[in-house]
Each structure stands twice: as C-alpha cells, then as structure tokens.
C-alpha cells in the first residue's frame, strides 16, 4: 500500500469511501456481512482511511462502518465524518449532530472531520454566526475530539477562495474536491488544485472515477486502454492518473463489492506513473465524455424530490439514450411505474439547487420524457418480434 504523510499521520493513499456500500437484493438495505468483510479486507491489506457522512445510505453508513470498525483496535484506522450543513433544515444544531455521529460511529473522536459539500448555497449556512457551526467545530478540535478539520466542496473557484480567506480559513487543514481526468478541465479541477497548493492545503480526492463512469467506459475506450496496459482495469487508469499528484494525500473510492476492493487495493500497492502518451489517451477519452451529463450518482437530490423520482437512474438513462437509441435504458424506463418516469417531474427545481454538479435536472427530465415518447417501446418490439417469429415458422 502506498502511504502519505500528513500532519503526523500515516494515511493510506486509498481511502474507503462508504457512500456506495454493498446492498442486499432489495437494492436499499446495506449488506452488513459483506460490508464487514470489506472493512476487514481493507484493513488487512493496508487501507487505514475510512470516510462516512450523515447522508450516505440515509445515516446507515455511519452505523454500519462504526459497527464494523469497532471490532478493530482504534489505532488501526483513521475515521472521517462530516457535518451536513448542505442539507436543508429548519435549524442546525452542530453539538447534537456531532454527539450523535460519535455515538453512531462508536468512537470518542474523529481523526478527520469535514464541513460537507460547501457550495454557493450551503456557504450561507456554514458561515452564518447564528448557526455557530464553524465556531463549534474549531472548539471541538481544541478539545481533541477532532484531530484534523477540513471541508469538502464542489464550489466554483471564487467561493473556494472566499472560504480560504474567511476567518475560519486558517483552521482548514485539508480540502476534499472532485478530481479525475474528466473534471481536470470540465470542472476546473486544475485551477482548484493550483489555488489549494498556493495555500499549502493538501487535496483529498472524491469521485476519482466520477461515480463509476470512468470505470465503465464504452468498448472503444476500454479497448484503447487495454491495448496500452493489458493488465490494468479501466478503474486503475483513473487512479494511476491521480497518483501523479504530490498534493493528493487520499483518494476515496466508493467501493461496492469485493472485486472492486481487490482491484483498487492492487492498484495502490505501488505507483506506476502514466507516460505522456498514456495521459494523452485519457485526455482524448475525457474529450469524448464531455458531451454527457456529469451525474455522479451521489443521490443528494433524491430526498428533496416531491415526486420521489430516482433522479440518478433517470439521468443515466438520459446519458445512454441521448447518444443513440439503446434497448437497455428503454427497458429500465418502461419497467418503472408510470409515476416514477421522467414525465412526473413537476419542474420544482428542488434538485437543481442541491446538485453538486449543477445539473439542470428538470430540463434533463423534460428531454428524457420526449426521448421516451418518440422511441420504440420494448413491449412493442417484443410483440413485433413474436409476430415475425410466428411468420417465419408459418413460412
Ligand atoms: S424538478 Fe423534478 S426531479 Fe427535480 S426535485 Fe422537482 S420533481 Fe423532482
Ligand atoms: S443529479 Fe446531481 S445531486 Fe442528483 S445524483 Fe446526480 S450528481 Fe447527485
């Protein structure tokens, strides 16, 4: 395992992000047994950084990870949690939230604690003295209940600068940003890295594979990479690209099954830097991918949707169908109850305000509904094929 030094800590370069833990067959409940096995495997193979947050699995990630880690010596792992100031609430009570988090995670202190997802809208919450959020957490750090304080952000460069220049900027020891070879230019990650480097703030990476998008490339792109490095997975390419950055201390991977974990850990056994032509290949792939909607599947938008739409699944269907007609996403849409299809979107915009990728979801829903209406339906195709098969039989 590659390790990085940070403020006296020895951190594994690969961190276990627990936003996408393995699920049972119902697609909702965390598979605790498998999650425990993955935590054990991670620790046995050198991963010592674990990252959770209140919204992950609607609070269940904290509980499952707390239970899994509590079976191991406290000094064998570093645990990161976050304050959910980005989630709309009638009022914010940092003390009550923090105590609940410690209890859920079964620890006395967090090694790393972040202000979660500071954006142009949530900064008003975090910086509002009436809520006293930042003041409270600086105090907890002084009391030793937080070892290192930082923040995660999908904000534009200007807000990032505002945060660092604020009265609490000096207390921020690290910053978690979305960094991958697609967002290097698409979300101005390059400029964000430069700004953080100029303030000596190390980078924690979230969404290194863009919610799995960069691990599931199309056949053409996959073949291109396989031709260059036959033994590396497409996911490994995303990580190799990040291993070149000295300012990156942790790369969080939201691993959902054991295969992903084994592959990721193998990639982080040693650095294998990309050559110039290999980086060019990734830049080419990034150019090709830029036309699709950059949903990472974080699901932040889902809780606030009055129509309870599965927004990331619908956006994924849009990405598939907007390039060319394909049966799989159409079947997925058709199998949904009518009230869960994109036509049910009422355009309220609750999702757009909360989306870290600033995706215009109502517009996507409108376009997807139009694509759906004009595309051939799987059920119609089945009837047609059955008729054709019957005709061939008769002939
Ligand atoms: S705009 Fe549509 S998808 Fe977004 S929250 Fe409102 S109903 Fe849901
Ligand atoms: S639309 Fe935005 S908030 Fe919703 S899952 Fe995708 S990236 Fe996350």
- The domain segmentation of the chain, as residue ranges, is 3-289, 295-395
Helix, strand, or coil (residue 112): strand
Instruction: Output the ligand 1 site: residues, CB below 6 A.
Output: 305-307, 309, 311, 345-351, 361-362, 365
Q: What is the whole-number distance in angstroms between the Cα of residue 347 and the centre of ligand 1? A: 5
Sign of the CA dihedral with 16 first, then 207, 133, and 167 last: positive
Is ligand 2 within 6 A of the CB of residue 355? yes
Residue 332 is predicted with a pLDDT of 80
Residue 326 is predicted with a pLDDT of 65
Q: What is the whole-number distance in angstroms between the Cα of residue 163 and the centre of ligand 2? A: 23
Ligand 2 pocket test, pick from 294, 298, 310 with the greatest ligand atom count within 8 Å of Cβ, gives: 298
Ligand 2 pocket test, pick from 56, 293, 299, 353 with the greatest ligand atom count within 8 Å of Cβ, gives: 299
Least Cα distance to 238 among 260, 259, 219 occurs for 260
Q: What is the whole-number distance in angstroms between the Cα of residue 262 and the centre of ligand 2? A: 27
Ligand 1 pocket test, pick from 293, 295, 305, 359 with the greatest ligand atom count within 8 Å of Cβ, gives: 305
pTM given for the model: 0.78
Which of 3.30.200.20, 3.20.20.100, 3.40.718.10, 1.10.3720.10 would CATH assign to domain 3-289? 3.20.20.100
Least Cα distance to 53 among 79, 24, 92 occurs for 79
Of all atoms in ligand 1, which is nearest to the CA of residue 346?
A: 7
Q: Which two tokens stand for residue 160?
A: 């990032």
- Cα–Cα distance, 60 to 23 (Å, whole number): 12
Looking at the CA of 341, which ligand is closest?
1
Residue 225 is predicted with a pLDDT of 96
Q: What are phi and psi of 86, to 5 degrees?
A: -85, -10
**In sequence order, what are the beta bridge partners of 250?**
204
Q: What are phi and psi of 129, to 5 degrees?
A: -60, -25
Q: Which two tokens stand for residue 231?
A: 């033994």
Residue 139 is predicted with a pLDDT of 97
Residue of the nearest CA to atom 4 in ligand 1?
351
Of all atoms in ligand 1, which is nearest to the CA of residue 347?
A: 1
pLDDT-flagged residues of the chain (< 50): none
Q: What is the whole-number distance in angstroms between the Cα of residue 256 and the centre of ligand 1? A: 27
Question: How many Å is the Cα radius of gyration of the chain?
Answer: 22
């Amino acid at each position: 395992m590659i390790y990085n030094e940070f403020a006296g800590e020895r951190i594994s370069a690969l961190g276990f992000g627990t936003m996408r833990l393995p699920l049972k067959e119902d697609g909702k409940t965390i598979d605790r047994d498998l999650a425990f096995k993955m935590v054990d495997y991670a620790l046995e193979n050198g991963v010592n950084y674990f990252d959770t947050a209140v919204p992950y699995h609607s609070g269940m990630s904290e509980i499952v990870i707390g239970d899994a880690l509590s079976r191991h010596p406290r000094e064998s792992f570093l645990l990161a949690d976050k304050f959910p100031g980005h989630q709309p609430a009638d009022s914010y009570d940092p003390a009550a939230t923090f105590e609940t988090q410690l209890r859920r995670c079964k620890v006395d202190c967090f090694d790393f604690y972040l202000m979660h997802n500071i954006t142009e809208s949530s900064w008003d919450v975090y910086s509002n003295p009436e809520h006293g959020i930042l003041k409270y957490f600086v105090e907890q750090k002084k009391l030793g209940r937080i070892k290192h304080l930082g923040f995660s952000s999908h904000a534009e460069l200007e807000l990032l600068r505002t945060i660092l220049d604020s009265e609490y900027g000096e207390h921020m020891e690290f910053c978690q940003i979305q960094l991958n070879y697609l967002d290097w230019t698409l979300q101005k990650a390059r400029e964000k890295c430069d700004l953080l480097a100029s303030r000596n703030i190390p980078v924690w990476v979230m969404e290194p594979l863009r919610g799995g998008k960069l691990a599931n490339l199309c056949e053409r792109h996959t073949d291109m990479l396989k031709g260059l490095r036959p033994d590396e997975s497409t996911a490994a390419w995303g990580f190799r690209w990040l291993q070149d950055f000295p300012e990156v201390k942790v790369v969080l991977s939201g691993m959902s099954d054991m295969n992903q974990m084994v592959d990721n850990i193998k990639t982080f056994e040693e650095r294998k830097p990309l050559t110039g032509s290999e980086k060019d290949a990734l830049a080419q792939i990034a150019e090709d991918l830029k036309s699709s909607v950059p949903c990472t599947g974080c699901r932040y938008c889902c809780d606030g949707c009055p129509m309870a739409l599965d927004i990331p699944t619908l956006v994924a269907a849009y990405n598939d169908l907007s390039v060319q007609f394909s049966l799989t996403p159409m079947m997925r849409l058709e199998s949904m109850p009518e009230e869960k299809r994109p036509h049910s979107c009422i355009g309220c915009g609750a999702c757009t305000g909360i989306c870290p990728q600033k995706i215009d979801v109502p517009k996507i829903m409108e376009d997807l509904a139009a694509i759906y209406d004009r595309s051939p339906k799987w059920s119609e195709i089945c009837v047609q094929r059955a008729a054709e098969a019957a005709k061939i039989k008769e002939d």
